[in-house]
Amino acid sequence: MIDQTKQVTLIEGDGIGPEIAAATVAAVAAAGGQVEWERVPAGLAAVEARGTPLPEETLTSIEKNRVALKGPLGTPVGEGFRSVNVGLRQHFDLYANVRPAKTLPGVPSRFTDVDMVIVRENTEGLYSGVEHFIGKRNAAESIAIITREGSERIIRYAFEYASRHARHKVTLVHKANILKMVGGLFLEVGREVAAEYPGIEFNDMIVDATAMRMVIDPQTFDVIVTTNLFGDILSDLAAGLIGGLGVACSANLGTGGCAIFEAVHGTAPDIAGQGIANPTALMLSAVLLLEYLDQDAAANRLRRGIMAALADPEQRMRDLGGTADTATFTRAVIRQMAD
Ligand code: ATP
């Protein structure tokens, strides 16, 4: 085997972060992932160790390695601390948030065959941070910013993702009937980019109709690309279709080939340290990471191991209605890969 070992930044995170990170590191090794982890602190752990939630060494490590796996982070309460997630997003211009939502065996949900990917623009739109009060809090105004450049890079990313992953359709979600300029520009750029990809079906859909269609007929969606606010809401809706945030994984892609992979759930302080946290979401994020590193054999092995362990009622974890703990489930994932 050719040595493809890649150094990857690992932020274990707060709360259940260290437990699910340890499980994921073990599973990646067993899958044959050629990864050397560089551990750096962030979040509450970093405040304790370094006095800041996002130390310079953490940024330097990600800058150098360009790829990171991140556990959930707590944001310190108090003046002067901004969210680490926002800090990372701005520093690395993480413009694409990619959230696959695929039905998982053994995970209770309303549908049996959901398989969609939401590509959310992560830097513009109504979350551009341009807002103010008018008068003495008589009114408030928030400005949605959509640029041609920002729209083009996210829509192009969605089409490139679709071609790389053999997906056949991209649906652009908008509200251009009402938001004629910000929605209209996004849609206009979408049509232009779509014309460059004749092999991939393209359609557009109004966001409210999309929300209804997603809960009635989620199987009709393949890749969805949309603006920040709509993507925020629809990606949680999609997670709900496959069993909730506890099993949802994500990738954040930035300019200059920087990528940060993470579970969607939070630090779960109520169960931290008890050895019962479900590592599925972080393990699935590691699958995306291995694919990103072109280590497809290891990615496929890890995905198969996770799916087989989830499908086995004996290995079902507590949050999914079973009795297995983190160590038992992780051993099952590793054993399934060996079979
Ligand atoms: P934060 O403040 O970091 O967002 P939170 O507890 O408010 O933390 P989540 O961490 O997303 O939000 O957790 C919501 C609920 O889901 C909690 O009861 C938590 O125990 C549970 N949960 C979240 N992730 C997991 C997991 N990986 N395994 C088991 N239970 C989980």
Q: Could you write out the three-class secondary structure of 25-52?
A: HHHHHHCCCCEEEEECCCCHHHHHHHCC
* First and final C-alpha spacing in the chain: 20
Average pLDDT over residues 298-317: 95
Position 245 scores a pLDDT of 85
Position 79 scores a pLDDT of 62
- In percent, the amount of the chain with pLDDT more than 70 equals 98
CA distance 271 to 264: 17
For residue 143, report the distance from its CA to the centre of ligand 1, in Å: 32
CB burial of residue 133 (10 Å; 0-12, 13-18, 19+):
exposed
Q: Which amino acid is at 49?
A: A
To the query of whether residue 296 is one of the catalytic residues in this protein, the response is no
CB burial of residue 314 (10 Å; 0-12, 13-18, 19+):
exposed
Fold agreement (1-98+245-339, 109-242): yes
To the query of whether residue 136 is one of the catalytic residues in this protein, the response is no
In this predicted structure, the answer to whether residue 244 has a pLDDT above a threshold of 90 is: no
Two tokens at 80? 């002067």
Which residue ranges make up each domain of the chain? Answer: 1-98+245-339, 109-242
In this predicted structure, the answer to whether residue 226 has a pLDDT above a threshold of 70 is: yes
Considering only CA atoms, which of 279, 249, 258, 282 is closest in space to residue 99? 249
Residue 214 parent element (H or E): helix 207-216
Q: pTM for the full model?
A: 0.93
Two tokens at 7? 């150094």
For residue 266, report the distance from its CA to the centre of ligand 1, in Å: 5
Position 127 scores a pLDDT of 84
In this predicted structure, the answer to whether residue 17 has a pLDDT above a threshold of 90 is: yes
Q: Which amino acid is at 131?
A: E
Average pLDDT value over all residues in the chain? 94
In this predicted structure, the answer to whether residue 77 has a pLDDT above a threshold of 80 is: no
Instruction: Specify which residues 101 forms β-bridges with.
Output: 116
Q: Which CATH superfamily is domain 109-242 in?
A: Isopropylmalate Dehydrogenase (3.40.718.10)
Position 155 scores a pLDDT of 98
Residues having CB within 6 Å of any atom of ligand 1: 16, 72, 74, 245-246, 265-271, 277-278, 281, 319
Position 78 scores a pLDDT of 66
Confidence of residue 168 (pLDDT cuts 50, 70, 90): very high
Q: Please provide the CATH number assigned to the domain covering 1-98+245-339.
A: 3.40.718.10
In this predicted structure, the answer to whether residue 3 has a pLDDT above a threshold of 80 is: no
DSSP secondary structure code for residue 78 in this structure: S
